[in-house]
Chain A
Amino acid sequence: MEYKDYYAIMGVKRDATAEKLKRSYRKLARKYHPDVSQEADAEVKFKEVGEAYEVLKDPEKRAAYDQLGSQWQAGQEFHPPPGWDAGFEFSGSGPQANSPETSGPDLGAFSDFFESLYGRGYARSSATSARRRQGFQIRGEDHYAKVIVDLEDSYKGTTRSITLQIPELTADGQVTTRPRTLKVRIPKGIRQGQQIRLAGQGGAGYGGGEAGDLYLEVEFNPNSQYRVEGADVYLDLPLAPWEAALGATVKVPTPSGAIDLKVPPDSPAGKKLRLKGRGIPARQAGDLYVVLQIALPPVDSEENRRIYQQMKHEFTFNPRASLEV
């Protein structure tokens, strides 16, 4: 098992005061809260911070942890020395239920490192699992997850494998997490933010209650040349000035494959060409908008410079006419 440097996780020195720790915890909890954070590994970080604070805010646990010494490196192979906790009385007194600072999110148990030091009795119990213990027949909780798909997948439909970390109660009442991989059909025509409901794939029920549902929220891969608004799709299409001025037929990529697009003569930059029904094939199919952009050819030769100079002499064109200067 790996040693965890709780002070480094909290971003404080080993002699930090309780007040300093609390402030640091508050800040990090806000930064990494899975519902708020924009960080990619927010959930993992949030759990780490919660665990570190659970130890360091408690003078007894902190003293016991400090006793391990500061020679350990984060990630180093670790086994607690025998009798290391002699003289401390924290075993068995779990965190107070329902205090906002001690009951973390439903992300399952603390790390093996934590449990080897303080025992498994500290596994967090959320309000729901507390209610479950009362022996009622209770339906499992609904779970939520995000699934990222390419826009192209929405045009054809696809199948995605997703792996979830499922917190569950073992027979002896401990909380553990278990990875679970599901293959899910992503239907054709799905839009950003839409949810797929998988009945019975959420949290297990208790006392014979039925399982909850799993909701998958679809998000399009943001690294795409397309922009999506509802079922409509937008693509910026660069054109050479002469293509825009004289008209042309150009190859244009679309999520369902490249097409030939006819650009009418005298097309200004920003003009939108609508390709009806070529947006997301939702129940009411969206449109594909090609937004024209004019790319300026570089002046990288004498010949090109000559052509620009010729244009300068032969055009009477004021691009700032609308600014009235």
Chain B
Amino acid sequence: MTSDKILCGQLVEEATVITLKELCRSCTVKTEEIIIMVEEGILDPQGERLEPAQATEWQFHISSVKRVKTVVHLQRDLGVNLPGAALALELLDRIAELKKL
């Protein structure tokens, strides 16, 4: 399917934050899965109230969407556990940093 219409997207500014609900919706994961990722240190919610009890108020940087998706894919496709996926993410970040040099 090809359309000649030129799509003008919305630029996602680096400062964009999304709510826990939006993050779950975007990645098709459950709230509990996000809480576990936060506890594992894979995601850092922003703001003051960071206890899991206040999870519904959490906000995340937009880059979290990609991180969650990568974690889900690695778990599903390679059978790695959460700490393993977290390690892979950190190494991927480091490769990206090194490539910039």
Q: Which residues of A contact B (CB under 8 A)?
A: 26, 29-30, 33-36, 38, 46, 100-101, 103-105, 126-128, 131, 139, 141-142, 144, 159, 178-185, 187, 190, 194-199, 201, 212-213, 215-217, 229
Contacts and interface: CB of A to CB of B under 8 A. Distances in A.
Interface of B: 1-12, 14, 25-28, 62, 65-66, 69-70, 73-79, 88, 92, 95, 100
A93 to B, nearest CB: 21
B79 A101 contact: yes
A217 B63 CA distance: 11
B67 to A, nearest CB: 10
Nearest to B29: A127
B7 A100 contact: no
Contact of A185 (B3, B6, B73, B78): B6
Contacts of B5: 183
A contacts with B: majority SS:
mixed
A185 B77 contact: no
Given A178-B1, A181-B2, A195 B62 contact: yes
Given A29-B77, A34-B73, A101-B79, A182 B7 contact: yes
A144 B7 contact: no
Nearest to A195: B12
B94 to A, nearest CB: 13
Nearest to B12: A195
15 contacts: A29-B77, A33-B77, A35-B69, A105-B73, A105-B77, A180-B1, A180-B2, A181-B3, A183-B5, A187-B11, A194-B14, A199-B10, A201-B7, A212-B26, A229-B100
